[in-house]
Amino acid sequence: MMTDKTKSDKSVKAEVKSENQWTLIAKRFFSNPLAMGSLVVFVGIWLFSVVMVGLGPIPGIWDLNYSTPYTQVAPNGAPVAEHPFGQTTIGQDYFAMTMRGVQNSYFVMIVIGGLGTIVGTVIGALAGYYRGWVDSFLMRMTDVFIVIPALVVGAVIGRISGGLGIYLLAICLGLVTWMGIARLVRGEFLTLREREFVDAARIAGATDRRIIFKHILPNAVGVVIVASTLLAASAILLETSLSYLGYGILPPEVSLGRLISDNQSAFSNRPWLYWWPALFIVVPALAINFVGDGLREAFDPRQKRFSRRRTKELPESA
């Protein structure tokens, strides 16, 4: 018959077992109000744009199109109820254009962040695990890609790609923005490959591929996730910078950077044409950066935020 002591021991073991690494990371991240609020804002902006103007075959609730010129309702294209963000000089609805620009920025960000993360993780993992000539070759290749300006690549692709500009632009930029992640992953692999659990896996007869993807990479996933969020934030700014210069997403597609470039002369008399796109560039970039900071603190509990109140209370508790 099972005693109370045995039952309590089993319940404690079950509770300890349920508190695995990912559960603790999730608890630390969800307890960070700034990171959670930023995540809600970041996802909410994209959902808002989809609900308003639709996405692909999904229709939106906003009746006006981003490419159709309409009759000027207010003098100088000022914001009114029918056009809350105002109108361009030819009568296009600026709200629909801004929402379409938000969707294009998120699409480019996802492609660049995802592709750059995959390529950088694979190259960094191979270089850090095998070392020797493999490490030398991959790192020299990384150095070559580092000196290639992403702005120049995006400018060339944006000019020659024609109607498929947004897709080719995102893919090509993703193929030239993986170098930072590759270096970070290589450093983690150089450290983790010397750990005891890797030696135990080798003794057990595990293949190199299994050791890399089943044993080492899960322990380096924190670095990969944090680096990918920072890459996503820089991808938004990179795309808008290219479009602002006239080399990124070309008409008839809409880019927030292009909207700012086309209306920068109207900053003094029609500032709404400038500030709305700028707001939807800055807010998502800041939000994804705050999410990355929250993930970094969640994966590394040794990094704690400084609290002046907690510091003042320290002598009293002592």
pLDDT of residue 3: 56
Range name among 146-150, 164-168, 192-196, 222-226 with the lowest pLDDT average: 164-168
pLDDT over 90 at 194, yes or no: no
With contact defined as beta carbons under 8 Å apart, do 227 and 181 qualify?
Answer: yes
pLDDT confidence tier of residue 161, bands split at 50, 70 and 90: low
Task: Give, to the nearest 10 degrees, the angle between helix 150-160 and helix 217-245.
Answer: 60
The listed CATH number (3.30.200.20, 3.50.50.60, 1.10.10.10, 1.10.3720.10) that belongs to domain 24-303: 1.10.3720.10
Of 99-108, 211-220, 266-275, 307-316, the poorest mean pLDDT is in 307-316
Please state the three-class secondary structure of 60-115 as a single string.
CCCCCCCCCECCCCCHHHCCCCCCCCCECCCCEEHHHHHHHHHHHHHHHHHHHHHH
Q: What is the pLDDT of residues 69-112, one digit of tens each?
A: 888 877 777 878 888 888 888 888 899 999 999 999 999 999 99
Q: Do the beta carbons of residue 67 and residue 92 sit within 8 Å?
A: yes
DSSP, residue by residue, 6-74: HHHHHHHHHHHHHS-HHHHHHHHHHT-HHHHHHHHHHHHHHHHHHHHH-BTTBPPS--S-SS-B----S
pLDDT of residue 251 exceeding 50, the answer is: yes
The one-letter amino acid code at 54 reads: G
- Residue of 76, 101, 93 lying closest to 260 (CA atoms): 101
pLDDT at 318: 41
293: its two tokens = 């900071």
Q: Burial, 266: exposed, middle or buried (Cβ in 10 Å; 0-12, 13-18, 19+)?
A: middle
Mean pLDDT, the chain, rounded, equals 82
Annotated domain spans of the chain: 24-303
pLDDT of residue 102: 93
C-alpha distances (whole Å) from 102 to each of 32, 207, 256 are 26, 45, 7
pLDDT at 208: 84
- pLDDT-derived band of residue 117, with 50, 70 and 90 as boundaries? very high
What's the confidence (pLDDT) of residue 17?
45
Supply the pLDDT for residue 195.
86
First to last CA, the chain: 47
pLDDT of res. 294? 86
Which pLDDT belongs to residue 284? 93
| 132: three-class secondary structure by DSSP | helix
**In this structure, what DSSP letter does residue 250 have?**
P
Q: Which of 77-86, 181-190, 217-226 has the highest mean pLDDT?
A: 181-190
Report DSSP state, residue 306. -
Query: What tens digit of pLDDT does each residue of 11-21 get?
Result: 544 444 446 77
Predicted TM-score (pTM) above 0.75: yes
Percent of the chain with pLDDT over 70: 86
pLDDT value at residue 151? 79
Query: What is the structure's pLDDT at 12?
Result: 47
